[in-house]
C-alpha cells in the first residue's frame, strides 16, 4: 500500500485575486483634459481624413450640392467648437429680470 503525504499550503488572496480594482490616483482636471483630448483628436482627425477621401472623383461620383452639404456641416461643427472654446462649454442662460 502506498501513501502520499500532502503538505498543506496556505493560500493568500490579494485584492486583485478577489476581483477588486487596484487603487487609482485621482487625476487633475488638466491631466484628464490632456489625456482625453489626445485620444479624441487622433480619432477626429482620422475620421475627417476619411470624409476627405470621399472627394476622390476616381472612386466616387457626387454632385456639387452633396459636396457643399458636407463642407457646410463640417464648417458649422467647427464654428460651434471654436465658439465653445472661446466662451466655455456652458451656455450662458439669460437671467430673468423685471
Q: For 22-79, what is each residue's pLDDT tens digit?
A: 777 899 999 999 999 999 999 999 999 999 999 999 999 999 999 999 999 999 999 9
Does the pTM surpass 0.85? The reply is no
**Residue 20: pLDDT over 90:** no
Distance CA(81)–CA(75), nearest Å, equals 10
**Residue 98: pLDDT over 60:** yes
- The more confident residue out of 6 and 22 is 22
- Please give the biggest Cα pair distance in the chain: 101
pLDDT at residue 44, as a whole number: 98
Amino acid at each position: 500500500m502506498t501513501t502520499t503525504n500532502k503538505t498543506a499550503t496556505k493560500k493568500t488572496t490579494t485584492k486583485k485575486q478577489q476581483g477588486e480594482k487596484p487603487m487609482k490616483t485621482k487625476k487633475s482636471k488638466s491631466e484628464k483634459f490632456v489625456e482625453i483630448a489626445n485620444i479624441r483628436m487622433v480619432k477626429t482627425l482620422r475620421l475627417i481624413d476619411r470624409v476627405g477621401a470621399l472627394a476622390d472623383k476616381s472612386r466616387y461620383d457626387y454632385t456639387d450640392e452633396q459636396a457643399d452639404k458636407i463642407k457646410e456641416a463640417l464648417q458649422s461643427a467647427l464654428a460651434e467648437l471654436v465658439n465653445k472654446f472661446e466662451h466655455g462649454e456652458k451656455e450662458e442662460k439669460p437671467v430673468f429680470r423685471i
